[in-house]
Structure 1
Amino acid sequence: MELAIDTTAGTGPMIVCLPMFSTTRATTAAAFGPAFAGAGLRETYLDLPGHGDSPATCRPASQPILDTVCAWLDHHIDAPVLLAGASYGAYLAAGIARQRPDLVRGLLLVCPGVTIAPASRTLPEPHAPTAPTDWLDDAPADLRAHLDAALGHRTPAVVATVLAALTSGGPGDETFQQDLRTGPEYALPDENGDTVFNGPVSVLTGRQDGIVGYADQFRAMRCYPHGTFTVIDEAGHYLPFEQPALLRAHTQAWLRRTHH
C-alpha cells in the first residue's frame, strides 16, 4: 500500500487521478491539473506500483495493482471519491468502479483502455491529419512511430508538450513495467464485464487515437446509464495535451453533474 502521492489543497470534493501506463503522477498532474483549475477540488495524483516513485510492492499484474489502489483508498478516504484516469489509468478506474463501486462517486475516463490485447481493439482507419513536415523532427527516433500513431493534433508544440510530460517524475521500475505489459495477467479478469455503474461518467476519446481508438469506448457506454461520450477531432491518445481547452470544458460540465 506504499504509493507516492501529491495532493493539492482544496475545500471541495476529492478527486483521485490515475496515470497512463509507464508514466508518473507528475505526468497526470500536467494532463488533468489545468482542467480542474478553479474548481476547488482536493486533487490527488498517485504513482502506481512500480511506476514513478512507488515501489513494486505487488505482482506485475493488473488485478493486484487495482487491489493496491483500492487498499490505499480504503485507508485514506472516508467517503466515495471522484476518480479520473487516462489510458491504462482509466482502464483501472473503470475496473475499480466495477469491483468497488462503494469507493467511487463519479468517473472521468480520458482515452480509456477497454481491452488490453492490441489485436482485439477497434482502431480507426489510418488517416493522417495535415501537419507541418517538421512536426516530429524533435522527437527521439524510438518514439516517432508511437507518436505518429498516437497523435491527432500534429504540431511541434504538441510534441514538445507530450515529451516533457512523458519524461517528468520518477524513473519507475522498468523490469516491473515490462513484465506487466508482456505478462499473462495484464488484462483484468473482469475486463469484459457488464457491471453497471450508476454515477456520473464522462468518457472522452480522440478521433485519431491509433492506440486505443474510440469505438470500443462507445460500446462500453452500456455500463454507464448516466454517462456522456465524446469523440474529439484533431485529438489522439494524448488528448489532454492536444486539446486542453476541450478537456477543461468537458471536465467542468462533468463536475457540475457530480454535484447533483
Structure 2
Amino acid sequence: MTTQPEAYTVVKGEGLPIILAHGMGVDHRSLMMLDDAFPQGTQRIYMDLPGYGQTPALPGVGGLSELAEWFTNAANELVGNQRFAMLGNSMGGALVRDTLSREPKRVAGVALIAPVVDPVMSHRHLAEHIISNANPDLTHNLPQDKVIDFVTMGVNQSFDAWRRYQRYILPGTKLCDRDANTKLGQRYLLDGNPEQRMGTYTGPTLIVTGKEDQVVGYEDQKALLPHYPNAVYKVIDPAGHNIHIDNPEALKPLLTEWSTKLLNS
C-alpha cells in the first residue's frame, strides 16, 4: 500500500473544528488573514494540501480525484469522530464539496469562497476582469514576476491589498511543488459530480463569489443553490478571484455570520 503524506496543519482556537482548504499554487497561509472573523468556540484547522506548503506531494498520478480522496481521509484523521465544518477556497471548494457528498451527516456546515464548480475551464461561465482600484505607482515598481500574478488575479491594486498579498499569498507560492502542480493540472477532474451524489444538504452554507472573477466566475456557483436550500449566496463587488485579498471587509462579516450559525445549529 502506497504511503500517503501527512497533512501539515496550523490550529487556532478551541471548539467546533473547521477545516480550511486553500486553492491551487498557495498554502494554508492564504486563508489565515480571515482568522479574526471566527468567533470563540471554533477551532480553525488550516491545512497545507499535498504539494503545497509543508505537506509532501501525493505519490503516483496526483490528480484532483486522488487529492479529493486524500482530503476526505485527512479530515477524518484530524477530527476523529467529531462533527466538523469545512471552508474551501477555489480548488479547496471543490474538495470540500466532494468530501461533503461522502460525509454529509458528519458535516456541521460548509463555506465556499470563490469555489471551483466545474474543474474544466472551458465549461465555466467567467466574469470580466475589471480593475476597480488601479495603482500604477505600485504595479510599475514591483518585480515583474510578482506583478503579473497580483494584477491578473485581483482587482484591488491598493497598497493595503498588496501588503495582504505579500504577507499571505506570496510565501505559499514560493513553496509550491511545481511538478506536483503540473500533474494535478493534467488530471484536474473529480470522480463524479458531488451534488448529484449528495442530493441536498441543509446545514449552514455560505457561497461567496467575486463579481470580477475571471477564474471561476459567479454564475456556476449560483446554479448550486437548489442543492443547498439553506445557503447564503453573495456576489461581492468589487472582487476578483482572491476575494479575501481584494475585499476582506465584505467577506469577513459573512464568515462571522456563518460560523455563528454553526455554533447555534
Counterpart in the other structure of 1:35: 37
Counterpart in the other structure of 2:69: 67
| Corresponding residue SS for 1:131 | coil
Counterpart in the other structure of 2:189: 187
Q: Distance in 2 between matches of 1:148 and 1:163?
A: 13
Q: Distance in 2 between matches of 1:121 and 1:242?
A: 22
Q: Aligned pairs, how many?
A: 255
Q: Distance in 1 between matches of 2:217 and 2:143?
A: 24
Q: Distance in 2 between matches of 1:146 and 1:213?
A: 17
Deviation at 1:130, TM superposition (A): 4.7
Q: Distance in 2 between matches of 1:96 and 1:79?
A: 15
1:4 paired residue among 2, 8, 11: 8
2:27 paired residue among 21, 24, 29: 24
Deviation at 1:150, TM superposition (A): 2.3
Runs of 4+ displaced beyond 4 Å? none
- Mean CA deviation greater in 226-235 or 69-78: 69-78
Deviation at 1:4, TM superposition (A): 0.7
Counterpart in the other structure of 1:53: 54
The letter for the 1-side match of 2:168 is: A
The answer to whether the 8 Å contact 2:19/2:87 transfers is yes
RMSD of aligned alpha carbons: 2.0
Deviation at 1:257, TM superposition (A): 2.1
Deviations 1:153-196 (A, max 9, x none): 23233123213322225714210111111x1x311122474332
- Is residue 167 from structure 1 mapped to residue 193 from structure 2 by the alignment? no
TM-score (norm. length: structure 2): 0.88
Q: Percent identity?
A: 22
The letter for the 2-side match of 1:154 is: Q
The letter for the 2-side match of 1:214 is: Y
The answer to whether the 8 Å contact 2:131/2:156 transfers is no
- Mean CA deviation greater in 148-157 or 107-116: 148-157
The answer to whether the 8 Å contact 2:210/2:218 transfers is yes
Gaps of 5+ in 1: none
Deviation at 1:63, TM superposition (A): 1.5
Counterpart in the other structure of 2:228: 224
**Does the C-alpha gap of structure 1 residues 127 and 53 become closer, same or farther in structure 2, counting only changes over 3 Å?**
closer
The answer to whether the 8 Å contact 2:48/2:54 transfers is yes
- Is residue 252 from structure 1 mapped to residue 253 from structure 2 by the alignment? no
| Corresponding residue SS for 1:248 | helix
The answer to whether the 8 Å contact 2:133/2:155 transfers is no
Gaps of 5+ in 2: none
The letter for the 2-side match of 1:39 is: Q
